């Protein structure tokens, strides 16, 4: 097979990228384990586990164990809708990103730019004449 037709990996992911993807998207494991001898079930184990960030868990409505304190600041922050900045890929509160801009890289949305454009003084036209 010619070398140019061989599959190539364009991006080498690291462990940090894998953990980031798991926390961002979430990971659910369902497993049923049964130990039986001669057709007689001796032991049955059901495992259901979810691994996700607070933000992902809140977005998908995952249940938390009883006794979990949902009043902590981290949980309250996870409830706030966030968007990804198109320039630096950081997660920023959606309202702040749209109305003010990204605090990390300085990117500004069209909505954030609109008041700045409207506030600029307009030049006088020839019809208005001198003051």
The kind and range of the H/E element at 17 are helix 15-25
Q: Does pTM surpass 0.75?
A: no
Could you tell me if 75 and 15 lie in one domain?
yes
Task: Output the six-digit token pair for 113.
Answer: 């730019």
Residue 127 lies in a domain: no
CA distance 31 to 77: 32
What lies within 8 Å, CB to CB, of 101 at 6+ separation is 107, 108, 109, 112
Structure confidence at residue 72 (pLDDT): 83
Could you tell me if 64 and 87 lie in one domain?
no
The ranges of the chain with pLDDT < 50 are: none
Task: Output the six-digit token pair for 21.
Answer: 């993807």
Q: How many domains does the chain have?
A: 2
Structure confidence at residue 121 (pLDDT): 58
Could you tell me if 63 and 50 lie in one domain?
yes
Structure confidence at residue 107 (pLDDT): 93
Structure confidence at residue 18 (pLDDT): 84
Structure confidence at residue 122 (pLDDT): 56
Structure confidence at residue 131 (pLDDT): 52
Structure confidence at residue 128 (pLDDT): 53
Structure confidence at residue 71 (pLDDT): 84
Structural domain harbouring 96: 81-122
């Amino acid at each position: 097979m010619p070398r140019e037709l061989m599959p190539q990996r364009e991006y080498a992911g690291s462990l940090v990228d894998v953990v980031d993807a798991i926390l961002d998207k979430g990971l659910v494991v369902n497993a049923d384990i049964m130990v039986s001898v001669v057709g007689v079930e001796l032991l049955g184990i059901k495992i259901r586990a979810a691994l996700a960030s607070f933000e992902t868990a809140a977005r998908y409505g995952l249940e938390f164990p009883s006794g979990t304190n949902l009043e902590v600041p981290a949980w309250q922050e996870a409830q706030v809708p966030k968007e990804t900045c198109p320039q630096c890929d950081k997660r920023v509160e959606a309202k702040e990103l749209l109305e003010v801009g990204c605090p990390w890289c300085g990117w500004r949305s069209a909505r954030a730019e609109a008041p700045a454009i409207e506030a600029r003084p307009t030049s006088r036209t020839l019809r208005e004449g001198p003051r």
